[in-house]
Structure 1
């Protein structure tokens, strides 16, 4: 009985356990090994709350909340059974997005973005930002760029680029195509951002402008520098890298960019070919920090050759001439107020010519007669033969000038020039009188010498009285034109002498030249050359220092080109003449008297050509380099030209000496009315002798 009782109890317990195991744990719970545990609905069904909401689990239940940027029309916490959906909050309308001044709020699903208004750029360099990040929108100085449109009219190459950059400045959100901004050139930086592409396009356009040489018009130079400064200030904030370096055919540029909520501190240093720029970041930032600070240094290649002028406003203790001895550079920073810096900037220039001369730091001042070099605000810290350190209290375009002595103000040289050329003019005058009045030496060769002396006399006289009279531009141009014509004429007459000697040796029976042909070659050819030169470049006559041909654009070659051709032609004729003379001397029956005369004529002609040719070799350095030693050599050789002409063609000629003696005797000795028969006979014999000699020389 007892066993039956125990068996019943066991069956009852088993039945009770089975009943308990089949019991439901209720909503929000799950049975785990006969234990009711909380069920995490958020893990079981991640999308249980629907779109734009997230699930939060609770004990035995859960609730939903909208994502940030979304809201409901009623309860903050809800479940799907409530039939509530999350809707986007327009932060730009409700005012929760305080983007700041000069910004635009752009709503997006579940959020918003702040962007800068047209003409402004964010201080962090990004297109979008959120309020509370400390980002400011700063002006891009579009008004400054818009002012460059008027200046760009002087440069057709810049019109499209200025327009492109202006549109980008005013509306940066619009994509800008750079494919055709500079003609047919293709952008080599396709992976770069807008700033890098704009920089490359700008340098391409600048290369096009500077490729064929740049006009020395001061107003155009000022406009060029103004455009470059504005472009660099505009491009700098749009760059993505903190340091950018670009080298093109005609420029070398480096740009630095610092971003941040606080102004950068310390020094910075930039380098381009031939120049180094050192300053402080607080100088580049100025009093108004824009969230970014930029600095740029651009070096021009070859521009110094076009700007080797406009030195009239330089004040020196003694009058000097100048020459640019460095690269011309443009330095600029994002600071708007750079006319009077509290901390001066430093520039170090490498010299183009390693000379231990006096050097001067200058900048291009656009307010001086449309533009000129000036030393205002710039001092030379230290200078050596290799480089010069400059300190300036403003920013602009800079260069280093090498000061040369103004040779026109050296007293000793003035004396040498006055005495030497006066002596040469006296000798030329005596030669002209001799060749014109002495009948016994009249011949084709004598006619050539006469007009050679006339050309040189007029040229040296005008040179003496007018070469430095540069104050009147029109008068100076006239003086330069006269010098150009008569110096070319002198070389043409010397060439005719070479032709005449050639004919005397080669064409024995036809040695004379018709006067009309000689005058056409001696005076007509120079007239044609000068007329063409004046028509092509009238402004090339006269420079700031001399009333002579300008070296700009190679205009000086309108003189040196024909001179070189004439010298080469004369050398050819002289070589043929010497060769033929050698053959005739070695012949069986040489006419020694005629050959010796031709030999003497040839020697004097070659000496004459050498003196005049060598003189103008040094004359090239005299007018181009303007150095004292070259000026002395040029002046001395100019003086020797007249003396040499008198000695070779007058004093060494016995016939001319006899005429001189006769002339002097008529002046110094009283004339006698009575003549003896013996004297009459002697006079008749001398006249016959001179007549024979004249006939022989004329035949030669």
Structure 2
């Protein structure tokens, strides 16, 4: 009904809630130098309509339709080529038909289909057409593809779609889910205890806990957000914008952990260098506010630039950074760079400390304290850096996955044990608090601790 005779060319377009359609007609006196491209919101078709018209008394018409919700009816499960894969519809369903007596094509027709789902690398893409009761691939093939579009070539016209086949996801492992819940909760408890200890204990002059306090804040925020996300993942996943925001926040908090670890390494390097000075009084090289700005600004800039360059890089199925196009390196790149720089800093610290201890005539207790401080920082560097390297070997290896989970979730526990439980200064404070709590008296400042206004935080 919509096709009208024409001597040159004409077209008709219309759109409904569930359908987009475009018709193009050519006549004997066509003046176009190239064939038309018929387009809808999610698809396009290139057809040699002029040559087809020449073989049909100079006239031809083609109709191109895109159905917005047809994939819910003609489901990808009707594609029965393989039973052990998960099939996903990657495009809207489209149809094309010629309005001429002889519908034979002069050459294959190309369809450009926009992906309606996230592209999964390693999946098997198929251009398919509907044959009465099922999707089949006869006469259609994939010409080229990228993360957003795929070009299909077909030797006939029909109803088409793009389907991707991926390996079946592994079944949920109750053991891993239980271990994940338990270890993350334990890590959160000890991270909170370490944070409270750093915040409320009275430390000797020269002790700078800014990096450790903010490291605990970043760890606590990252692991708490991760735990809540995993527990409510089925409710979050349908909201793609929320999932993307969560993955960006996780990127920021985990990255800030490594930035604070780098800052602590720099402060430790400055502390060791100060051992060679005549004066034993340590001065704050950087103010607390400046350290906080540096610590969080670097992570914020990396996340902001990453989101600006790859706008759809956040919001994977697990509400984490997507693997496509190497976007995961927006996290791994800065992490491995910081780990490498920290390794250089710690090697310099060890060399400098060894040289200083040989030439400096200082108190034995101070030397011992500095050695312990360097050992703790080195251990912290190993605990924070190694687990992310193990992450490359967790695929299909449950033991490595469990080890990765334990090391990552217990970073706060390690900080609490090394810097709180194993610290004589903190243990004395704990005992004083405990005695005061049992006796019902108000907690007072320990006699061997300096007043608040003399300590460096």
Query: Distance in 1 between the 2:89 and 2:168 partners?
Result: 25
Listed as ranges, the gaps of 5+ residues in structure 1 are: 1-141, 175-217, 240-254, 256-295, 311-322, 347-362, 364-370, 372-393, 673-682
| 1:212-241 deviation digits (Å, cap 9, x = unpaired) | xxxxxx998458x989x99xxx9x9657xx
2:39 corresponds in structure 1 to: 150
Q: CA deviation at 1:654?
A: 0.5
Aligned match for 1:612, one of 384, 400, 412: 384
1:328 corresponds in structure 2 to: 125
| 1:170-189 deviation digits (Å, cap 9, x = unpaired) | 23699xxxxxxxxxxxxxxx
Query: Distance in 1 between the 2:331 and 2:188 partners?
Result: 22
Conservation of the 8 A alpha-carbon contact between 1:435 and 1:442: no
Q: CA deviation at 1:645?
A: 0.6
Aligned match for 1:167, one of 50, 66, 83: 50
Query: Distance in 2 between the 1:427 and 1:668 partners?
Result: 23
Listed as ranges, the gaps of 5+ residues in structure 2 are: 1-23, 26-34, 58-87, 143-148, 150-158
Indicate yes or no: 2:297 matched with 1:500: no
3-state SS, counterpart of residue 328 of structure 1: strand
Query: Distance in 2 between the 1:559 and 1:489 partners?
Result: 11
- Distance verdict in 2 for CA 1:484–1:221, change over 3 Å: same
- Distance verdict in 2 for CA 1:477–1:627, change over 3 Å: farther
1:580 corresponds in structure 2 to: 352
- Distance verdict in 2 for CA 1:462–1:658, change over 3 Å: same
Indicate yes or no: 2:437 matched with 1:667: yes
3-state SS, counterpart of residue 497 of structure 1: helix
Query: Distance in 2 between the 1:598 and 1:401 partners?
Result: 55
Conservation of the 8 A alpha-carbon contact between 1:619 and 1:634: yes
3-state SS, counterpart of residue 540 of structure 1: coil
Query: Distance in 1 between the 2:117 and 2:397 partners?
Result: 16
Query: Distance in 2 between the 1:324 and 1:529 partners?
Result: 25
Conservation of the 8 A alpha-carbon contact between 1:541 and 1:549: yes
1:320 corresponds in structure 2 to: none
1:535 corresponds in structure 2 to: 308
2:243 corresponds in structure 1 to: 476
Q: CA deviation at 1:532?
A: 2.4
What is the CA RMSD across the aligned residues, in angstroms? Answer: 4.7
| 1:402-425 deviation digits (Å, cap 9, x = unpaired) | 11325xx43222221221111111
TM-score (norm 2): 0.65
- Tell me the number of residue pairs that the alignment of Structure 1 and Structure 2 aligns: 364
2:210 corresponds in structure 1 to: 447
Query: Distance in 1 between the 2:203 and 2:305 partners?
Result: 40
- Distance verdict in 2 for CA 1:309–1:630, change over 3 Å: farther
- Distance verdict in 2 for CA 1:340–1:220, change over 3 Å: closer
- Distance verdict in 2 for CA 1:325–1:550, change over 3 Å: closer
Q: CA deviation at 1:590?
A: 5.4
Indicate yes or no: 2:170 matched with 1:405: yes
Conservation of the 8 A alpha-carbon contact between 2:248 and 2:303: yes
Conservation of the 8 A alpha-carbon contact between 2:91 and 2:162: no
Aligned match for 1:422, one of 138, 163, 185: 185
Please say which structure displays the higher CA radius of gyration. Answer: 1
Query: Distance in 1 between the 2:254 and 2:134 partners?
Result: 54
**Aligned pairs for 1:85-484 within 5 A:** 149-151=38-40, 162=46, 165-171=48-54, 221-222=91-92, 238=106, 309=118, 327-330=124-127, 338-340=131-133, 397=162, 399-406=164-171, 409-441=172-204, 443-467=206-230, 468=233, 469-484=236-251
Q: CA deviation at 1:448?
A: 1.4
Conservation of the 8 A alpha-carbon contact between 2:190 and 2:412: yes
Query: Distance in 2 between the 1:626 and 1:167 partners?
Result: 55
| 1:88-137 deviation digits (Å, cap 9, x = unpaired) | xxxxxxxxxxxxxxxxxxxxxxxxxxxxxxxxxxxxxxxxxxxxxxxxxx
- Distance verdict in 2 for CA 1:424–1:588, change over 3 Å: closer
Higher relative contact order (CA 8 A, sep 6+): 2
Q: CA deviation at 1:620?
A: 5.9
- Distance verdict in 2 for CA 1:526–1:646, change over 3 Å: same
3-state SS, counterpart of residue 238 of structure 2: coil
2:425 corresponds in structure 1 to: 655
Query: Distance in 1 between the 2:118 and 2:432 partners?
Result: 57
Q: CA deviation at 1:481?
A: 2.2
Query: Distance in 2 between the 1:326 and 1:414 partners?
Result: 27
Conservation of the 8 A alpha-carbon contact between 1:501 and 1:598: no
Conservation of the 8 A alpha-carbon contact between 2:90 and 2:117: no
TM-score (norm 1): 0.44
Query: Distance in 2 between the 1:593 and 1:149 partners?
Result: 82
